[in-house]
Amino acid sequence: MTEQDGAFRTEGLTKTYGSGPTAVHAVSDVSLAIGQGQLVLIMGPSGSGKTTLLSMLGGLLKPTSGRIFLDDLEITSLNEGQLPKVRAQRIGFIFQAFNLLSSLSAEENILFPASLVKQPRPAETGQRAQRLMERLGIRQRARHLPRDLSGGEKQRVAIARALINNPDIILADEPTGNLDTRSGHEVMMILYDLVKDEGKTVVIVTHNQVLADMADRVLWIEDGRVRDRKDEMHSWTNDPVCGMQIDQWTATFFRSHEGKRYVFCSKRCQERFDAEPARYASLGSIQGNIRPA
């Protein structure tokens, strides 16, 4: 299977919010290919452009410039009438905040995207929803409203909803961000199974390390620019304050303390370190392996 088989290719993908002196260059000139059946993680500090990139890949957000291909179809050339149909059939979305409709039951939420595409056999869709709920362990929750579900259950409903139209691509934006460790782990493993067992293409924006070793690619995004980090895992280290894994080679926030070097995901973590270095110093300095000057 080559990277030309399915999934995404972007050329010079760029998103700028606003214009003039206040313009924010959220994603800058990103050209990448994601092969069919790949598990790809997108990681990077808060505000680095992850959501913007994922939203453009999924056709939810129009790029300022650049092109996106889904197989041979250039989705950036589709109009407002054509795009929603492609999206509904080919792409399932999972969000950090679940985005369930609060007045619909779990089962109704799951079935909702099916109403957006022409269903040749509605009965089959109902059966498919049953099978998905069974598989995700939420069958007993079918008639519950979102407010009566736990976080982990809500995200399982959202995953079933993402799968109801049997898309070949799943895009997930921090799907474990609102979950406890155990539920988060389970959600990540469900996403992994979609790649392993069903050959789906799954792209996950996440800070969660559970799948880092299993992923085909780990893309690191910083200031809107993407780099492939899977081959260079040795340069990862942890922010001693928040624990987030960051790339010491490109980190922009760092400190030396008692002869050791520390890197941070953000100014905020750096400032917390500065305020109480003794508290954090034991938790994550760079030992050796420092970028040569």
Q: Pick from 1, 4, 5, 46: which binds ligand ADP (CB under 6 A)?
A: 46
What, of Mg ion, ligand ADP, none, does residue 217 touch, CB below 5 to 8 Å by kind? none
Q: Which of 3, 47, 130, 236 binds ligand ADP (CB under 6 A)?
A: 47
Backbone angles phi, psi at 157, to 5 degrees: -60, -45
Percent of the chain as helix, strand, coil, to the nearest 5? 35, 25, 40
Among residues 26 and 114, whose Cβ is nearest to Mg ion?
A: 26
Q: Shortest distance, CB of residue 177 to ligand ADP, whole angstroms?
A: 10
Q: Report if residue 63 touches ligand ADP, rule: CB under 6 A.
A: no
# chain residues binding Mg ion, by CB under 5 A: 2
26 binds ligand ADP (CB under 6 A): yes
Which stretch, 43-51, 105-113, 139-147, 238-246, contacts Mg ion (CB under 5 A)? 43-51
DSSP letter for 96, please: T
Tokens describing residue 59: 């056709």
Region from 10-18, 49-57, 239-247, 267-275 binding Mg ion, contact rule CB under 5 A: 49-57
Closest CA to 156 of 133, 179, 172, 127: 133
- Binding window for ligand ADP (CB under 6 A); candidates: 40-48, 160-168, 181-189, 257-265: 40-48
Q: Is the dihedral of CA 34, 38, 41, 47 positive or negative?
A: positive
Choose from Mg ion, ligand ADP, none: what does 49 bind? Cβ within 5-8 Å by kind: ligand ADP
Query: Which of Mg ion, ligand ADP, none does residue 17 bind (CB under 5 to 8 Å by kind)?
Result: ligand ADP
Query: Residue 40: beta bridge partners?
Result: 203, 217
d(CA 85, CA 67): 19
Pairing of strands 65-70, 225-228: unpaired
Contact call for residue 51 and Mg ion (CB under 5 A): yes
* Interatomic CA distance for residues 45 and 289, integer angstroms: 22
Residues contacting 98, CB < 8 A, separation 6+: 146, 151, 154, 155, 157, 158, 178
Residue 207 makes contact with ligand ADP by CB under 6 A: no
Subset of residues 147 to 176 that bind ligand ADP, contact rule: CB under 6 A: none
State the nearest-atom distance from the C-beta of 144 to ligand ADP, in Å. 30
Is 121 in contact with 153 (CB distance < 8 Å)? Answer: no
Rg, C-alpha atoms of the chain: 20
Rounded Cα–Cα distance for residues 15 and 290 (Å) = 33
- Pairing state between β 24-34 and 169-173: unpaired
Candidates 1, 23, 24, 214: give the one binding ligand ADP (CB under 6 A).
24
> Which of 37, 49, 92, 175: binder of ligand ADP (CB under 6 A)?
49
Q: Which of 10, 36, 38, 51 binds ligand ADP (CB under 6 A)?
A: 51
Piece in contact with ligand ADP (CB under 6 A), picked from 49-57, 71-79, 126-134, 263-271 = 49-57
Q: Which residues in this chain contact ligand ADP in the complex, by CB under 6 A? A: 17-18, 24, 26, 44, 46-52
Q: Which residues in this chain contact Mg ion in the complex, by CB under 5 A? A: 50-51
